[in-house]
Amino acid sequence: MEAGVFESDSGEKGLLAPYGQLKLWGGRACDRRAPGIPGDLDPALCSHDPIEPRDSQNPISPPEMNLSAGIIFCFLILGVSSQGWGTFLKEAGQGAKDMWRAYQDMKEANYKGADKYFHARGNYDAAQRGPGGAWAAKVISNARETIQGITDPLFKGMTRDQVREDSKADQAANEWGRSGKDPNHFRPAGLPNKY
């Protein structure tokens, strides 16, 4: 049985799957192996259940197809060429490690006024890895600022205006580093040289 688009007697359009089932656009699944004349649909066999493969000739189930399509879609959105996706992912992983290292150093240093420096340094180091690193730095930075927008008023007693101003300054330092500018611009006097 071949796959293809069909139109039923009632005018509904659907897709005939190669493993012998029919998925109507309305969401019903009908078995093409209904008794009677070959090709007839038995309405009693129609349901609102998801279509599952009936044999091993179609090993990819719908959830796996959705995941695969989602991954491909993400790569298209990110503008990653098919030849460079491995490199992009490697750079993103390395960039995430750079961001983590900067965060750990910031916590270890525990130096007042040094947070903007560590923001810029983490983004700078990650962006030096390439487009994947810059992408990871941006995603991590945005996520961090979003989370801090929720937690800072609760745990640090900051007002919404204070949070907004701090986030704006953090994002400026993040962008400074990602654009390849020297993070030492934000380095406070007296911060130990090991950082």
Q: What is the pLDDT of residue 61?
A: 46
Q: What is the pLDDT of residue 55?
A: 46
Q: What is the pLDDT of residue 84?
A: 79
Q: Would you kindly state where each structural domain of the chain is located, as residue ranges?
A: 4-59, 81-186
Q: What is the pLDDT of residue 82?
A: 54
Q: What is the pLDDT of residue 43?
A: 52
DSSP assignments along 19-81, one per residue: TSEEEETTS-EEETT-SSSTT---GGG-BSSPP---STT----HHHHHHHHHHHHHHHHHT--
Average model confidence (pLDDT) for the chain?
Answer: 77
pLDDT band at 164 (very low <50, low <70, confident <90, very high): very high
pLDDT band at 85 (very low <50, low <70, confident <90, very high): confident
pLDDT tens readout for residues 19-69: 444 444 344 445 444 444 445 444 555 544 444 444 445 444 455 556 666
Q: Supply the pTM of this predicted model.
A: 0.59
Residue 16 contacts residue 22 (beta carbons within 8 Å): yes
Residue 117 contacts residue 183 (beta carbons within 8 Å): yes
The CATH class, in words, for 81-186 is mainly alpha
Average pLDDT, stretch 159-172? 96
